[in-house]
Amino acid sequence: MGVSCAQIQSQFPDLLQFVAGNKEAVAQLPSSVESLLPNSVVFVPKADSFVRALESHVAIIVTHESVAEHATSHSLGDKAVFSTKNVYFTLSQVCSKLFPVLTDTTSAGSDIHPSAVIGKHVTLGEGVTVGPHSVIGDHVVIGTHSRIGANTTIESGAILGAWCHIHSNVYVSGYVTAGDRCEIKPQSAIGTEGFGFAPDSKGLHHRIPHYGRLILGDDVSIGSNVNIDRGTFDSVKVGSGTKIDNHCHIAHNNNLGENCLLTAGFISAGSTNIGDRCAFGGRSSVNGHINITNDCVFSYPTTVHNDVNKPGQYGGFPLMSRVESIKTYAAFSHLPKIKRTVSRIAKHLGLDEDGQNIAGDSQ
């Protein structure tokens, strides 16, 4: 069937505008700037990629408004050109709406697979699907149109909102409350007990029970192989709109603000509070008992070891401004040359490595 220019315009009148070309153009699928597929729609952020797209056989080009203004000076052929203020946001909206991805078909043909185990007093909203060999514990509540993949365990007492997607092979503790439209990808475990042990006089370690819940806001996305612990006594929260990449660990008693971005390999020790709209580069880490204010960005690879009270961009270890961290890392490659120079100067002055006169005279 494909997607026409008219459909794009009618669905997103405030997001993009038709600029020039063939208003009858139809795109069969989206494609990347690197692989310009025939009869596709492509989202082009830069001018050099725009020229390449014009020379290809794509059907529809969506580009930034600063680039689109040059469209009329090129031969468009059968192509259509749209402009937008934010290319990547437009990509996310157009593709999600007009080219949806079917990501879990394990329960196709049956709302509740015959092999699934459903506990007592479970509340399943309208349109809920449960995949093969999944286990839903007692008193679980799952909101309307949510999907539970194969081999997933949701323990007794858990509460999930509407339109959630819990992929295959996920563990959800009974101490979890999730809002609407949350997604948890395979091999993740959330709401688990934290790494809490108390040593006795003999050096033996004894488990500390955890009573708190883990509360996810709306639109939280959790990648694969992610572990999020619950609170020891108090409930902890992951704010609405926060996105967590694969292979992240968030220890007990943490609180994450709204609309944060945690990229792959992020690790946070216990009892840390992170504000709203914070972003962490890959393999960043945060020490325990740290408070981070709103609107902070931490580049790869950053270690946060003290409170951060001022919004801004940071990097490195010890933590410094991002600009200072770039300069510091750039200087590392010069250290061998600096060391050799200092050694020659010391030798010329007759000094040893401690700055003492080699002959024993005081300086």
pLDDT digits (tens, 9 = 90+) for 105-138: 555 555 899 999 999 999 999 999 999 999 999 9
CA-nearest of 59, 60, 56 to 16 is: 60
Residue 103: per-residue pLDDT = 63
How far apart, in whole angstroms, are the C-alpha atoms of residue 128 and residue 123? 10
* Two tokens, residue 45: 């952020």
Q: Is the pLDDT of residue 147 over 90?
A: yes
Kindly list the catalytic residues: 252
Burial of 29: CB neighbours in 10 Å, binned 0-12, 13-18, 19+: middle
pLDDT grade, residue 181 (50/70/90)?
A: very high
106, 168 Cβ separation under 8 angstroms: yes
Q: Tell me: pLDDT of 320 over 90.
A: no
- Decide if pLDDT at 317 tops 70: yes
Tokens, residue 129: 């699907």
Between CA 19 and CA 26, with CA 23 as vertex, the angle to 5 degrees is 115
- Would you tell me how many other CB atoms lie within 10 Å of the CB of residue 46? 14
> How deeply is 217 buried, as exposed, middle or buried, from its count of CB atoms within 10 A (0-12, 13-18, 19+)?
buried
Residue 80 pLDDT exceeds 50: yes
- Predicted confidence (pLDDT) per residue in 267-280, tens digit: 999 999 999 999 99
- What is the C-alpha separation between 137 and 34, in angstroms, rounded? 47
Please report, rounded to a whole number, the percentage of residues in the chain having pLDDT higher than 70.
Answer: 95
Q: Is the pLDDT of residue 234 over 50?
A: yes
Q: Give residues with Cβ within 8 angstroms of 299, minimum separation 6.
A: 281, 313, 314, 315, 322, 325
Lowest-confidence range among 100-114, 207-221, 283-297, 306-320? 100-114
Tokens of 306: 């003290």
User: With bands split at pLDDT 50, 70 and 90, how would you rate the model's confidence at 307?
Assistant: very high
The predicted model gives 234-261 an average pLDDT of 97
Taking the C-alpha atoms of 15, 21, 23 and 25 in order, what is their torsion angle to the nearest 10 degrees? -100
Average pLDDT of the residues of the chain: 92
Residue 219's pLDDT band, with cuts at 50, 70 and 90, is very high
pTM for this predicted structure: 0.83
How high is the pLDDT of residue 215? 98
Those residues whose C-beta lies under 8 Å from the C-beta of residue 227, and which sit 6 or more positions away, are 188, 189, 190, 192, 248, 249, 250
The 8-class DSSP code of residue 196 comes to -
CA 206 – CA 227 distance, rounded (Å): 22
Tokens linked to 334: 């010069």
- Is residue 70's pLDDT more than 90? no
- Comparing C-alpha atoms, which of 153, 274, 164, 175 is closest to residue 222? 164
Residue 331 has pLDDT above 50, yes or no: yes
> What is the torsional sign of CA 100, 105, 109, 113?
negative
DSSP lists the bridge partners of residue 163 as none
**Predicted pLDDT of residue 363:** 45
- If one compares 83 and 105, the residue with the highest pLDDT of the two is 83
Q: Positive or negative CA dihedral for 129, 211, 242, 301?
A: negative
Rounded to an integer, the average pLDDT of 181-196 is 96
> Any residues with CB less than 8 A from the CB of 230 and at least 6 apart, and which?
173, 175, 176, 191, 192, 193, 194, 210, 212, 213, 214, 236, 252
Q: How far apart are CA 238 and CA 262, in angstroms?
A: 12
Whether the pLDDT of residue 333 is over 80: the answer is yes
Max mean pLDDT among 69-73, 274-278, 326-330 falls in: 274-278
Under the banding of pLDDT at 50, 70 and 90, the label for residue 71 is confident
Mean pLDDT along residues 30-41 = 95
Residue 59 confidence (pLDDT)? 96
The DSSP annotation for 277-307 comes to: T-EE-TT-EE-SS-EE-SSEEEPSS-EE-S-
Terminal-to-terminal C-alpha distance of the chain: 87
